[in-house]
Amino acid sequence: MEISIFGLGYVGCVSLGCLANNGHRVVGVDVVDIKVDLINSGKPTIIEKDIDAIIEKSFNEGKINATKDFRKAVESTDVSIICVGTPSSAEGHLDLTYIFNTAAQIGEVLKNKKGFHTIAIRSTVMPGTNEKYGKIVEEISGKKRNEDFAVVSNPEFLREGTAVKDYYNPPVTVLGSDSEKGLDMMESLYKELNGPIEKVGIKVAEMIKYVNNSFHALKITFANEVGNICKKLNIDSHEVMRLFGMDKQLNISTYYFKPGFAYGGSCLPKDLKALQTLSHDYYLDTPVLNSIDKSNSFQKELALNLIESKNKKRILILGISFKPGTDDLRYSPIIDVIQSLSGKGYDVKIIDKNVHLSKLVGKNKSFIMEKLPHIAKLLTTDIQQALSWAEIIVFTNKEKEFSKLNIDDEKIIIDLAHIEEYMNHQKYNGLNW
């Protein structure tokens, strides 16, 4: 099948590579020159396990390319998959400008394009977006929805760090549309995936990602609060939550039930805020949802207070991205801690092998430059020198090499990630265990 993908960020890049790996011909569309250039040189736009090899292989086989020319991309393909960003506004609503820009662009091309065209919205959008998207395409193209084109809501469930594995092994593939032809087209596209395909109502498909991510955010903060209480009572919080997670009948999933640091990333904070804003718009009171971000912010304060309580000035942060195996800095919780420490006169150094300022683009780059404009002065690659220099060593995630360091007994360890290898260190401090 001939496919065009709008947006070459995390979801778009992984989708481009995996679809091509399954035998399809895929063209990526993006407004950022460096992303287009990377794909056209056989390189991914992101740091993600396995995607570099997939992109290189597919490029060498002539199955992928990228362009800024949306007209050429739509004219040469049967399916357009929308993976552009949907950032939060200051009030918590989603900014759907990029989404509706693609609707206008595709509508322009469909004016003169023959044949049926399927549009799949993979980006996370609020209920009602699919309907509005279709109206924009109709108005601009002069074509009729479900006769000349279809709009399918197809939310993604990819976790950064395991996105390729998640793509091929989804818990469920959700398809929502009022077009059977569009649904059949997308179902055939995903027939190689190892997981069920669910055809549901459009608004159900649009809503499920917010429910999923808000619940994931709830699980993390719930486990953190349990951990905080357990520490006060000198109880092993990880042992408590291990037992809690054994109940598969009621508790369902153990993935997020790990006491530790605050959650971050581009999805959980944004989608939780969007769901809160949605309930507010309908004058609904959602006290649990409204408490999640407050609890998450408290977890960052707890980490900051723990660091400050040691009365040392030289702080080494091991890991600044919001999780291991990625260069995504958006809403990484440790950034707020670093920002506070720097503002209070602490001397901070950061080591993260995945973060290279010269390779950061788009929202990822603008976010870190807004939060830590002086980050270039903080990053270092000499881990031995940094370990020797530091008085306090803060572990924020579980990069493999972080568990194998030789740390002197006089150094203070503050562990936000539950790295068991250091728990017998003379000056070890767990966040809430």
137: its two tokens: 């395409």
- Per CATH, 2-200 and 210-430 having the same topology is answered yes
210-430 — its CATH code?
Answer: 3.40.50.720
Decide if 253 contacts 223 (C-beta within 8 A): no
Question: Which among 90, 118, 106 is positioned nearest to 98, based on CA atoms?
Answer: 106
pLDDT of residue 365 exceeding 70: yes
Q: What is the pLDDT of residue 225?
A: 86
> Angle formed by the axes of helices 202-232 and 287-308, to 10°?
40
Decide if 152 contacts 176 (C-beta within 8 A): yes
- Find the mean pLDDT for residues 264-287: 85
Decide if 350 contacts 327 (C-beta within 8 A): no
Assign domain 2-200 to its CATH superfamily. Answer: NAD(P)-binding Rossmann-like Domain (3.40.50.720)
Q: What is the pLDDT of residue 257?
A: 67
| 3-state secondary structure (DSSP) of residue 130 | helix
DSSP string covering 13-81: HHHHHHHHHTT-EEEEE-S-HHHHHHHTTT--SS--TTHHHHHHHHHHTT-EEEES-HHHHHHT-SEEE
What does the pLDDT look like over 390-423, one tens digit per residue?
Answer: 999 999 998 888 988 999 999 999 999 999 999 9
Task: Please give the positions annotated as active site.
Answer: 267
Q: What is the pLDDT of residue 251?
A: 61
Q: Which residue has the tokens 């601009």?
A: 140
Decide if 177 contacts 147 (C-beta within 8 A): no
DSSP string covering 268-293: HHHHHHHHHHHHHHTT---HHHHHHH
The strand ranges marked E within 304-427 are: 314-318, 347-351, 392-395, 412-415
pTM: 0.75
What is the pLDDT confidence band of residue 330, given thresholds at 50, 70 and 90? confident
Say which residues have a Cβ less than 8 Å from residue 385's Cβ, sequence separation at least 6. Answer: none
Q: What is the pLDDT of residue 277?
A: 86
Sequence ranges of the domains in the chain: 2-200, 210-430
Helices of type H across 233-324: 237-245, 268-281, 287-308
What does the pLDDT look like over 105-153, one tens digit per residue?
Answer: 999 999 999 999 999 999 999 999 999 999 999 999 999 999 999 999 9
What does the pLDDT look like over 376-398, one tens digit per residue?
Answer: 889 999 999 999 999 999 999 98
What is the pLDDT confidence band of residue 371, given thresholds at 50, 70 and 90? confident
- Find the mean pLDDT for residues 59-78: 96
Decide if 257 contacts 216 (C-beta within 8 A): no
> d(Cα 126, Cα 93) in Å, to the nearest integer?
9
What burial class does residue 45 get, using C-beta atoms within 10 Å of its C-beta: 0-12 exposed, 13-18 middle, 19+ buried?
A: buried
pLDDT of residue 250 exceeding 70: no
What does the pLDDT look like over 164-217, one tens digit per residue?
Answer: 999 999 999 999 999 999 999 999 999 989 999 999 999 999 999 998 899 889
- Find the mean pLDDT for residues 39-43: 96
In Å, how far are 74, 150, 330 from 372, measured between CA atoms?
Answer: 39, 43, 12
| 3-state secondary structure (DSSP) of residue 206 | helix
Mean pLDDT of the chain: 92
Q: What is the pLDDT of residue 249?
A: 67
* Residue scoring higher pLDDT (276 or 71): 71
